[in-house]
Amino acid sequence: MSRTVTLVDYGIGNVFSVSRALETAGAEVLLTDKPEDLDKAERLVLPGVGAFADCMSSLRERGLVDPLLRFAGSGRPFLGICVGMQMLATYSEEFGCHEGLNLIPGRVSGLPNVDKDGLPLKIPHIGWTQLHHAPDQAWTGSPLGDTAEGESVYLVHSYAVTPDDPAHSLATCFYGGLPICAAIRSNNIFGVQFHPEKSGPSGLRILSRFLQC
């Protein structure tokens, strides 16, 4: 089985650390900002850090939105990381209302600033957090297929996705005792709010599993 991954470089994001992690997981990585490379890709990873609107703007400026939509509709494996996951949603409420790729219908909204007991929560949410199965969801056949319930990953975020269809929520984490969507899935399209490239052996297993999807 080929383990070639096309990593989208649109001028924003931690592409080199993601690239190194993918290579460590066994991938041959093509780092590119060329629309034609996305059309030929076998597997695709869309990373992202920073503001949702800036990331979407950079994709549009490089003519990458339509190739991403074509790729997603092709049935080939697609993984969004952090803001790359958020851009899979319909829109974000970060600094206004901004359209996303609408590949997994839902909204991106700010994390709650108080915990389940009404006490202040520090935003952004930074640190290692345990992953849990979303209700009625199995991780088989997803990048989390080799991940154990309660395994920890590394997050840095102030916003999170809420899918319109709860069945698209793959994994949950908790912050201040409140559930936050940590991973989403719809057919061949996956997204993780956490950073597998910063999550040690757990993250490498997740990337390695993506190479088998």
Per-residue pLDDT at 53 exceeds 90: yes
Among residues 36, 133, 195, 213, the one annotated as catalytic is 195
CATH of the domain at 90: 3.40.50.880
Q: Is the previous residue joined to 135 through a cis bond, with omega within 30 degrees of 0?
A: no
Query: Mean of the pLDDT values across residues 52-81?
Result: 97
The DSSP result for 122-152, as a single string, is -SSEEEEEE-EEPTT---TTSTTTTPPTT-E
76-124, pLDDT tens digit by residue?
A: 999 999 999 999 999 999 999 999 999 999 999 999 999 999 999 999 9
User: Which of 126, 102, 64, 110 shows the shortest CA–CA distance to 191?
Assistant: 102
SS (H, E, C) 104-120: CCEEEEECCCECCCCCE
pLDDT at 172: 98
Q: How many residues appear in the chain?
A: 213
**Count of the separate structural domains present in the chain:** 1
Choose the weakest-confidence range: 12-21, 168-177, 202-211: 12-21
User: Which of 155, 153, 25, 23 shows the shortest CA–CA distance to 86?
Assistant: 155
Per-residue pLDDT at 2 exceeds 80: no
Name the band, by pLDDT with cuts 50, 70 and 90, for residue 63.
Answer: very high
Which residues form the domain of 114?
A: 4-210
Among residues 55, 82, 173, 181, the one annotated as catalytic is 82
On whether the CB atoms of residues 71 and 41 are closer than 8 A, the answer is yes
Name the percent of the chain lying above pLDDT 70.
99
Cβ of 90: how many Cβ atoms within 10 Å? 17
Query: Mean of the pLDDT values across residues 34-56?
Result: 96
Per-residue pLDDT at 1 exceeds 70: no
157 as an active site residue: the answer is no
Among residues 55, 94, 181, 197, the one annotated as catalytic is 197
195 as an active site residue: the answer is yes
* 3-state SS assignment for residue 57: helix
Enclosing H/E stretch for 174: strand 169-175
42 as an active site residue: the answer is no
